[in-house]
Structure 1
Amino acid sequence: YYMHIGLYAYRSNVLEKITLLPQSPLEKAESLEQNRWIENGYKIRCAETVWESIGIDTPEDLDKAISNYERFI
């Protein structure tokens, strides 16, 4: 199975534009804002990796990630 690492980088002018786009029915149905971008002609680049990641969804997750990262520096 593939896993998803969601890392997004934007130019400021593109970020301003995509935040003004209305939600699409597909985005609402799948709860994926990326569908809005794709349906409006924006490209999303993907890459395959063997690196295993952890989810960062809460402040506690971020603390854990920082702690893990600091072991490598």
Structure 2
Amino acid sequence: REVDFLVTRDEKPFILVEAKKSEKNLSRDLYYFQELLKPEISVLVSGSLKSVGMPFQEASSPIPISAADFCSQIV
């Protein structure tokens, strides 16, 4: 099992990221690590989803989000 990235804050899991070129469905691995690590945010970042300007920090996790929306908000 694997996910692509884990961002930590104060040495605790903060953002769990699964990145896919065209996938829109959340993976079992993302759910597995969401339950195991309990990060504040879990996202599937997909290049095929359209940008809707959704703030992923306010959504209930895990959620699919466009790569454009994720990259514009992560900074």
Q: TM-score normalised to the size of structure 2? A: 0.20
User: Which structure has greater helix proportion?
Assistant: 1
User: Which structure has greater strand proportion?
Assistant: 2
